[in-house]
């Protein structure tokens, strides 16, 4: 399942995939894969992404 909330939150901060990847210490391809739903990140990575985007785990990763 695509993570459009992550993509929207990243865009709202005016960050490219590469910039977000640099902030959390992963490759751009990892961020792309998470957004496309092809990769299930660790909780540690989820928390780092949330901190970088000033969002909660629920806001970015909880499925409705």
The enclosing domain of 48 has a CATH number of 1.10.260.40
Q: What is the DSSP letter of 58?
A: H
How many C-beta neighbours within 10 Å does residue 48 have?
Answer: 17
How far apart (Å, rounded) are the C-alpha atoms in residues 60 and 53?
Answer: 9
Q: What is the DSSP letter of 38?
A: S
pLDDT truncated to tens, each residue of the chain (64 aa)?
Answer: 789 999 999 999 999 999 999 999 999 999 999 999 999 999 999 999 999 999 999 999 987 6
- pTM, whole model, 2 decimals? 0.92
How far is CA 47 from each of CA 4, 43, rounded to the nearest angstrom? 17, 6
- Count of structural domains, the chain: 1
How many C-beta neighbours within 10 Å does residue 46 have?
Answer: 17
Structural domain for 15, as ranges: 4-61
What are the pLDDT digits (tens) for 31-42? 999 999 999 999
**Residue written as token pair 């409705």:** 64
């Amino acid at each position: 399942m695509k993570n459009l909330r992550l993509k929207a939150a990243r865009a709202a901060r005016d960050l490219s995939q590469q910039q977000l990847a640099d902030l959390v210490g992963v490759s751009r391809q990892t961020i792309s894969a998470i957004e496309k739903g092809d990769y299930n990140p660790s909780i540690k990575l989820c928390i780092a992404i949330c901190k970088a985007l000033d969002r909660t785990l629920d806001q970015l990763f909880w499925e409705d």
